[in-house]
Amino acid sequence: MDQTKVTVLKEKLTQSSHIMVLSGAGMSTESGIPDFRSTGGLWTEDTSRMEAMSRSYFLSNPHQFWPKFKELFQMKMSGAYEPNSGHTFLANLEKQGKHVDIFTQNIDGLHKKAGSQHVYELHGSIQTATCPSCHATYELPYLLQEEVPVCLKVSADGRTCGQVLKTDVVLFGDRVKHFDQVEKSLQQADLLLVMGTSLEVAPARYIPEDAAQNPSIFKVMMNLSETEYDQLFDLVFHERIGDLVKDL
């Protein structure tokens, strides 16, 4: 690892007050969670899974959707994964008094589990589901308990809602969440950390391009492999996030 670059990053982290983070699958793989989009990932193995994970499929086949969803995202393990040193590193920056906005493409909830306070889950969360009818929210233990989780809310006249719940994960055909907050964070940030994403998925991949228009933001890429956006960054590390934050 290039220690000169590590030293520069240390200095920038020390000087920064408002850090913006964009994290992707590479952040979660070090906790043992599969990368669904990398070469050989689950999406590339079977494109029909993409169709089954769509809003239109859920609306048409809600009872068939849930078994497929649970199998694909290994929901039985969803509560067992733990934050890794990358998640802890970001949470510790907050404890040092820095404002850290984390925009994550991951659905595992590990940034929140690590203790970070300002987490925006662009693709939603596997930890909850919501009733499409009455908007009641249910937590992971109930979702795991039922093969097809339905809403248990009882109305004033004594009727149980019974609607099949919709996962709070953003499905194909759903709108990405929290993107209105991205622009606000870009206006305030003095440091951008892109961690564990090859920036292949829109609209998150546009964040570095927008940041490049602001010379006051120091931009850092941390990803195991090269990306087509590397030239937009002031520092680029092709390392495991765990190894890099250990050096930091």
Catalytic hit among 118, 123, 135, 178: 123
Q: Does 221 carry a binding-site annotation?
A: no
pTM, entire model: 0.89
Start and end residues for every CATH 3.30.1600.10 domain found in the chain: 35-80+125-169
93: tokens are 């920056």
Does 63 qualify as catalytic in the annotation?
no
User: Do residues 18 and 188 lie in contact, with contact meaning Cβ atoms separated by under 8 Å?
Assistant: yes
Classify domain 1-33+83-123+175-248 by CATH number: 3.40.50.1220
> Tens-digit pLDDT profile for the chain (248 aa)?
788 999 999 999 999 999 999 999 999 989 888 765 544 444 444 546 778 899 999 999 999 999 989 888 776 566 678 999 999 999 999 999 999 999 999 999 999 999 999 999 999 999 999 999 999 999 999 999 999 999 999 988 889 999 999 999 999 999 999 988 999 999 999 999 999 999 988 788 889 999 999 999 999 999 999 999 999 999 999 999 999 999 88
Peptide bond into 203 cis (omega under 30): yes
For 127-170, give the DSSP string. Answer: EEEE-TTT--EEEHHHHHHSSS-B---B-TTS-B--PBPEEEEP
Start and end residues for every CATH 3.40.50.1220 domain found in the chain: 1-33+83-123+175-248
71's CB contacts (< 8 A; 6+ apart) are: none
Which helix (H) or strand (E) segment holds residue 63: the answer is: helix 62-72
40: tokens are 């050989």
Q: Does 131 carry a binding-site annotation?
A: yes
- CA pair distance 97, 87, nearest whole angstrom: 16
**Bridge pairing between strands 235-237 and 218-222:** parallel
Q: Does 71 carry a binding-site annotation?
A: no
Decide which of 3.30.9.10, 3.30.1600.10, 3.20.20.140, 3.20.20.70 is the CATH code for 35-80+125-169. Answer: 3.30.1600.10
Alpha-carbon distances, residue 47 vs 43, 54, 108, 170 (angstroms): 6, 12, 22, 17
